[in-house]
Structure 1
Amino acid sequence: MRSTTSRFAAAGLAAILLAGSLPADAAPAARTLPGGDAGSRVPGYPDVMAEYIQLPGGKAPGTPASLNTASFLRVRPAADGARPGPANAVIVGLPGFSSTPPHWLFLASQMVSRASKESCGNQPCRVEVWVLQRRGANLAETEALTEARRKGDPALALNHYLGADSIGPNGQVGSPTASAKWKPLTQTDLAFMADWGFETYAADVDAMIGRIRERSGARNIFLAGHSQGGGFVANYAARKRPDGRRGVEGLAGLIFLDGGPSAGVQPEPTAAELDAYFTRVSALRSGKDRVYTDANGLLGAIAGPASAASQSVTGVYYALSDPSAEAIFPLRVAGMAPAPGDDFLKTARMTWLARAGASFDTDPVPGGGVQMQILQFLGQGLGRLDFTPMPGTEDRCDRTPPPPAAGPMRALAPPPKCVPSGAMADPGRVHGWIEPGGASGPKEAGRAELWMNAQAFAPTRSNIRPVTVSFAESGRRRIDASDMVASNWYPSERWDFDAGFVGRYKTLKVDRDGVKLDVDKAAIAGVPVYVARQGFTQGVSGNPFPGVKDYTEVNKTGTWQTPEAKAISPLDPAINAAIYFHTDFVGADDSRAGQARPGEPGVSAVSGTLVDWVLKRAKGLADTPSPAALGVRARY
């Protein structure tokens, strides 16, 4: 059970959260954003800077040349300035299906910051983290987001993407209206996305790795994946590259964060399975099937350009609004699959911080079941909504709890949940958020402030320039994707399909209908592997790669290492991820680093163990490109 006590890492938030709520008519002042280089410093990490980079990527058939790009968030020491020094290690990160670089912002920053406090050859160790952006986010038209940030007026973004009249009589934002200037690109416009499959994304990673120049004898590039990105790590490592080498041959280590590792579950595809695969590819190419995900209610959530644009506007409000002001974006919108607690979340008024926490916490009203089912698994532990039912409404549940189990099972049954209803929420109160309290509070890994800041952050420094593209239905459109978004605007159906197909097999050799794949999971050998996940194995039996001897796993029961791994960087076996939910593995709080054991509240189980793991396995130095060589400049 979560404690109601709290302890705040940032004194600036203490005043916001005292008592957890505000009078309904409170109107705190808006915030302003720094420009220039200061706008690329990561919130809470003044020693870390981030830049949004784009390179020529893989060449997918039919894709306009200006859209065949690989974009990534480059996170590096702020002390670099304009001249990055040689890197001891570069970690290339791969997010999950609908995730983007902001989900990795704080893990990446923790890695860079922690490494700089270590010594490598009488110099501060230097680690960079490059987090790949999904190609669908490269199609985001973000000029109005940038303008809103530059002028400090989030309404500019709201009016452009959703319409000035999208705010209803209740002061809450509703569906986009006809007055919105922005319209999504259509499935026909983006028909070329039918070929944005595994090989396209692998070629994008090739392009990123190709800009890292390892010095003679060096081996210091690590590939890391979270969620579905973990599956990509194994697939990429097993893939034969255009130069004839397997992906694993150029890597110093593989990192799996609550996704994988897997060496496949089936030796190779049957003829019928191959035919089914190409039937699906043909349906995507012909337009019979949608090429990008655009479904309200997907797994209980929402996906596609309209919802992603709305989330991007929300991010600008997070960036520019006082966290204690009342949020104007509801947590439930039209088209979402109905779920218990909908009426409560539509009715309860919340601060921006509370909205951020309630949007992604696995259980924002403890024990109440108020969260989309998919986020009960994929979300984080971020604290709790400061809510108590109005007197006399305690039994007015949105869902009637089931009767207690009969017989001896009664003692084993969890207590029935009373899902709050809208009738329980005080209409005169703006509910605040109670952050986890470190050692004295609830045992949770994340904080709502971090989630909100990650969703809000878009570095001012970038080399991404606008391009003009002629689309089949929408005509000429100016695409400026330089304002990094926290949601994939056009999720590729082909990528999602390929991820499952390629990951299923131990060996996959295909050369048919324009698809060429050569993947052999047995090639994953002789490389260090680090795993952190919710699940658990006893000992190191979770290692699926017979040729991997240096294996480390942090899970809910403790830390397990092979003798080879322990000899290089021994970890305390008591370190565990027992309090971690899915996204905590890339977003956990690390504000108490050094004050407790990794995995305890306020100390990341991942960055607290992975920095040393990486540095002990990196060999030599690598040169990374300067901002000038990449054409980076301040956007405002």
Structure 2
Amino acid sequence: MSLKTLILGATAMAALALPAAAAAPADNSKSLVPGYPDVVGEYIQIPGYPAAGTPKALNTASFLRLRAAADGETPKPANAVIVGLPGFSSTPAHWLYLASQLVHKAQGQTCDGAPCRIEVWVLQRRGANLADTTGLTAARARKDPKLALDYYLGAAALQPSALPGAPLKVDVPPAGSPPPAWKPLSQTDVAFMADWDFQAYAGDIDAMIGLIKQKTGNRNVFLAGHSQGGGFVANYAARLQADGKRGVDKLSGLIFLDGGPSAGTEAAPTEAHLNAYFAKVAALRAGKDRVYTDASGMLGAIAGPEAAASQSVTGVYYAFVDPAQESIFPLRTAAMTANPGDAFLRAIRLTWLARAGASFDTDPVPGGGVQMPVLQFLGEGLGYLDFKPVPGTEDQCDKTPPAPMLGPPRPGMAAAKCVPAPAQIDPAKVYGWVEGGGNGQSPLDAGKARLWMDSQAYAPARSNIKPVEVTFAESGVRTIDASDMIASNWYPSERWDFDAGFVGRYKTLKLDRDGVKLDIDKSAIAAIPVYVARQSPAPAANNPFPGVTDYTEVNKTGTYQTDAAKAVTPFDPAINAKLYFHTDFVSVDDSTPDKGRPGDPGNSAVANTLINWVLKRSKGAAATPTPKALGVVARY
């Protein structure tokens, strides 16, 4: 029986002999976070904002819930709930380790005579709700990642080495190999994404926060955003809600992680701005512009459903392979040929751990300039490849013209003297990885490739998401099972990305036109604690919100606090983020928090300051829903 036959529609689970939901045990062990056995993850979906045109089954809000595993099926009241917003094209997987560190650290502190409880709920982008993850779940249940490989990619994804005379990484697919069963949804299928705007995402957050029951006088909910999500935090806090209150009135604090804070750069949109905005909206709704990003924009060939499915399959392999064994996947594909170092990374033989590190590290060959500009800008400092040119090839460099940098250069990136080329590789060697982080051998890298690998591999075995049948305009009836939490957004919303920039641009924004109804006033952000951690070497007193007196900022040069902030949680002003790259702020290693000060390798500058900042600014405790109330069961 072929995998295509096995994995069809809602009958796939039964065909693969997965346990039925009603019979699934309450065992949390398969849902624990790697490295944090006291933290359990659950992938949850609830009714979301009713975006115009979207099928009801897809108008949902999904999020990763991380909480204390010791509470089992009855979570204790939370001293704080942090609702997290991922950044541009990002997912909850990027937040896995910061969130787990906070849940873990809270359990080691005392609140009202008992261990504290912090829960972290990280929103999943709506595009993930369109991902058919049946093949991923099947692979996890059977512990056989090849099931996912065959279903989504086919054997053609396994390419032989590009080096003449080198051993083949895999067998060449035989002629006539069956194509993969999965096909991506088309732009026409998901035309309704044209209305997945700021309103939709804000409405999804409303629905999430609505699950948290706060007694009168309690203030327990914090809104946190990384990168583009930081812009959303300010916009949401300033937004007028249906009950006449602004978001800031219902929150205990705002947290900005290398994104924001910003009160807007212009007072209000002009008529020309508004006309340009609605012209873009009209183009999206009419199908003249793409509604999801697919191999275009800043992310290029690593964007869109086919690229994301490939990354998801890689994540399933990460879950079951020996990190020291050789990866069967090339790090670069034929579509990635425009950057220096691409040919080198396409040819080199790597361990699975090295593949994980080199896929997202900002500079995997120190000073070599082999990483794509977008990942230099968005990536982490994870360590480096254990690579040296074969003797006699030191000058055989890659002459591909460098692509423009997307941000300010970091040491060693701007002017590589010799970008490595395939001629410098030993074809008989499988290259490994030198780790950063706590006890790592790369003192300038605060992250670890193993953490990145595990975050890409992780998907909670506990979920309430069920398969749904949807009729699409072009593809017809399709069964979508989005219950496996994916580490990349398959269908990134162009409308959301467009709205994020537009809404964040203005101090005030009032709209009631063409289905868009917004009332945003950022001057309303006042009398609320604000925490900021970012790369910027910003000067002191860089608070953009005049009414905020409790303000803390950790940046490259140190930590700045207002007097009101110091009175609640005074921090060592020498704490800094000088080693941190963009995604380090939510993913950095915290394996040796007892060594050095926050910001040193192995001692998270964010987790080890934010934990007390949050707990000291919480009032009372909030009741959070039980897994049973949300319909959460073990998937396998």
Give the TM-score normalised by the residue count of structure 2: 0.91
Name the CA shift for 1:441/1:306 in 2 (closer, same or farther; >3 Å).
closer
What are the equivalent positions in structure 2 for 1:58-457 lying under 5 Å apart? 58-169=49-160, 170-171=168-169, 179-296=179-296, 298-299=298-299, 302-336=302-336, 338-399=338-399, 416-436=416-436, 438=438, 441-457=442-458
- What secondary structure, in the 3-state scheme, does the structure 2 residue paired with 1:545 have? coil
Residues 478-497 of structure 1 aligned to structure 2 (within 5 Å): 478-497=479-498
What's the secondary structure of 2:302's corresponding residue?
Answer: coil
Assess if the C-alpha contact under 8 Å between 2:389 and 2:425 holds in 1: yes
Counterpart residue identity of residue 55, structure 2: P
Is it true that 1:504 corresponds to 2:505 in the alignment?
yes
Partner in structure 2 of residue 574 of structure 1: 574
CA contact (8 A) 2:339 2:400 kept: no
Change (3 A) 1:437 1:139: closer
**Alignment deviations for residues 407-450 of structure 1 (CA, whole Å, 9 cap, x no partner):** xxxxx998752100000011101111111263674221100000
Post-superposition CA distance 1:579-619 (Å, at most 9, x none): 00000000000000122211000010000100000000001
Measured at CA, do residues 414 and 456 of structure 1 come closer, stay the same or move farther in structure 2, by a change above 3 Å? closer
For 1:475 and 1:297, the matched residues in 2 are separated by 28
Check whether the contact 2:463–2:483 (CA below 8 A) recurs between aligned residues. Answer: yes
**1:429-475 superposed Cα distances (whole Å, 9 cap, x missing partner):** 11111112636742211000000000000010001111000001101
Please say if residues 300 and 372 of structure 1, whose CA atoms lie closer than 8 Å, have aligned partners that are also in contact.
no
Q: Which residue of 1 aligns with 2:29?
A: 38
Counterpart residue type for residue 76 of structure 1 = R
Would the aligned equivalents of 2:159 and 2:329 in 1 still touch at CA under 8 Å? no
Structure 2 counterpart of 1:543: 543
Matching residue of 1:533: 534
**Amino acid in structure 1 at the alignment position of 2:344:** F
Letter in 1 for 2:61: A
Question: Is this contact kept in 2: 1:173–1:329, CA < 8 A?
Answer: no
**Shift of residue 480, structure 1, vs aligned partner:** 0.4
- Cα deviation for residue 400 of structure 1 reads 8.5
Q: Aligned pair in 2 of structure 1 residues 158, 299: CA closer, same or farther (>3 Å)?
A: closer
Asked if the contact 2:319/2:458 (under 8 Å) is kept, the reply is yes
The DSSP-based 3-state class of the residue aligned with 2:430 is: strand
Percentage identity across paired residues of the two chains: 68
Q: Quick one: distance in 2 between partners of 1:168 and 1:449?
A: 24
RMSD: 2.0
Residues 116 and 561 (structure 1), Cα distance of their counterparts in 2 relative to 1, 3 Å cut: same
Give the AA of the match of 2:169: G
Residue-by-residue CA offset, 1:130-152 (whole Å, 9 max, x unaligned): 00000000111001101111111
Contact 2:353 2:453 in 1 (8 A): yes
Distance 2:296 2:427 in 1: 28
Structure 2 match to 1:472: 473
CA distance, structure 1, for counterparts of residue 434 and residue 132 of structure 2: 35
Aligned partners of 2:85 and 2:229 also within 8 Å? yes
Contact 1:296/1:337 (CA < 8 Å) preserved in 2?
no
Partner amino acid, structure 2, of 1:62: G
Mapped partners of 1:165, 1:241: distance in 2: 50
Q: TM-score, normalized by length of structure 1?
A: 0.91
Deviation at 1:335, TM superposition (A): 2.5
For the structure 1 residues 77 and 482, does the alpha-carbon distance in structure 2 shift closer, same or farther, using more than 3 Å as the test?
A: same
Instruction: Return the alpha-carbon distance in structure 1 between the equivalents of residues 129 and 49 of structure 2.
Output: 14
Cα pair 2:445 2:601 within 8 Å, conserved? yes
Counterpart residue number, 1:8: none
The answer on whether the counterparts of 1:166 and 1:174 sit within 8 Å (CA) in structure 2 is no
Partner residue in 1 for 2:6: none
- Cα 1:132–1:297 change in 2 (3 A) is closer
Report the alpha carbon displacement of residue 341 of structure 1 after superposing the two structures with TM. 0.6
* Conservation of the 8 A alpha-carbon contact between 1:397 and 1:421: yes
Aligned residues: 593
State the distance in 1 between where 2:273 and 2:298 align.
26
Do 1:88 and 1:125's aligned partners in 2 also have CA atoms closer than 8 Å? yes
2:22 is matched with: none
Counterpart position of 1:405: none
Report SS of the residue matched to 2:255: strand
Task: Check whether the contact 2:159–2:330 (CA below 8 A) recurs between aligned residues.
Answer: no
Contact 1:35 1:460 in 2 (8 A): no
Matches within 5 A, 1:16-27: none
Give the residue type in structure 2 aligned to 1:199: Q
Deviations 1:141-187 (A, max 9, x none): 00110111111111100000011344344436999986110000000
For 1:338, the aligned partner's letter is A
**Equivalent-residue separation in structure 2 for 1:300 and 1:114 (angstroms):** 38
Structure 2: state its 5+ residue gaps: 1-24, 161-167, 403-411
TM-superposed deviation, 1:191: 0.5
Contact 2:235/2:520 (<8 A) preserved: yes
Partner of 2:13: none
> Which stretch of the first structure deviates more once superposed, 292-301 or 249-258?
292-301
8 Å contact 1:173–1:330 — kept in the other structure? Answer: no
Instruction: Name the residue aligned to 1:518.
Output: 519
Change (3 A) 1:416 1:75: closer
CA distance in 2, matches of 1:394, 1:45: 43
Q: Which runs of 5+ in 1 are unaligned?
A: 1-33, 403-411
Q: What's the offset of the Cα at 1:297? A: 7.1
> Cα deviations across residues 172-231 of structure 1 (Å, max 9, x unaligned)?
699998611000000010000000000000000000000000122100100000000000
The answer as to whether partners of 1:36 and 1:460 remain within 8 angstroms in 2 is no
Aligned-residue offset at 1:539: 1.9
The structure-2 alpha-carbon separation of the partners of 1:432 and 1:587, relative to structure 1 and needing over 3 Å to count, comes to: same
464 and 415 in structure 1: CA distance in 2 versus 1, 3 angstrom threshold: closer
8 Å CA contact 2:129–2:482 kept in 1: the answer is yes
Rounded Cα–Cα distance in structure 2 between residues aligned with 1:470 and 1:318: 33
Which amino acid in structure 2 is aligned with residue 82 of structure 1?
Answer: E
CA distance in 2, matches of 1:336, 1:415: 21
Kept in 2: contact 1:162–1:177 (CA 8 A): no
Partner of 1:406: none
